[in-house]
Amino acid sequence: MTFGQYSFSTFHANVDRAAADRMVGLALDAGVNLFDTAESYGQGRSEEVLGAAPRRAGARERAVISTKVSTFGTGSYDEDRDLLRLSYRHVIGNAEAALRRLGTDWIDLYLLHQPDFVTPWEETLRALDDLVSRGLVRYVGWSNFPAWHPPAARVSRRGAGTRRSFRGRSTTRWSAARPSARSSRPVAPPALGR
């Protein structure tokens, strides 16, 4: 089960810090450990609110935080067009900014929010591989992709020079809440990761 999504985009407007802490605390106490957000939810504010609550509760180790890099623009005419793609610079830069907004040292699951039909897969895969190699991201995947698109990544990965296998599911919603026999942490999807 995820907790967050779009509801956090307006979190700053109608929920104060105490209420946010209480909501996240109740979710953790009920066994919800996957918290989902994205850079595009509230222009990053969702990540700030979501990251702060488990940290203040001393529950970061219990929380599985998922965030996404998107290709949604602000609509500004002078917007950096590189931010509308899953380019190396955007994928890396967004992960580093998300870590600051979340106030954490790692992202458990980093998702490509939607397809980019312009940037070569090799470029995007190299960025994801570098984030995992640096220990900033544990697993990667995608959401809102057509079923044919992710298999193309497998073919492209061979030429990308990535060191890891890139596998995943092509679904618009994915739940990581299947508990492992050895841990209360969820079983991660087959993905680019450790």
CA 6 to chain centroid? 14
Instruction: Specify the number of domains making up the chain.
Output: 1
* Domain extent at residue 83: 2-193
Share of the chain above pLDDT 70, in %: 64
Residue 130 CA: distances (Å) to CA of 3, 25, 81, 194: 28, 33, 22, 12
Cβ–Cβ under 8 Å, residues 50 and 65: yes
Which H or E element spans position 3? strand 2-4
pLDDT digits (tens, 9 = 90+) for 25-44: 998 999 988 988 888 877 77
CATH code (residue 176): 3.20.20.100
Tens digits of per-residue pLDDT, 84-106?
A: 889 999 999 999 999 999 999 99
In 3D space, the residue among 39, 187, 48, 32 whose CA is nearest the CA of residue 114 turns out to be 39
Question: Which is catalytic among the residues 6, 41, 77, 88?
Answer: 41
Measure the CA–CA gap between 4 and 157, rounded to whole angstroms: 32
Taking only the tens place, the pLDDT of each residue in 109-155 is 999 988 888 899 899 999 999 999 999 999 999 888 877 766 666 65
| Whole-number pLDDT of residue 188 | 41
- Give rounded-to-5 percent helix, strand, coil for the chain: 45, 15, 45
110 a catalytic residue: no
Query: What's the pTM?
Result: 0.74
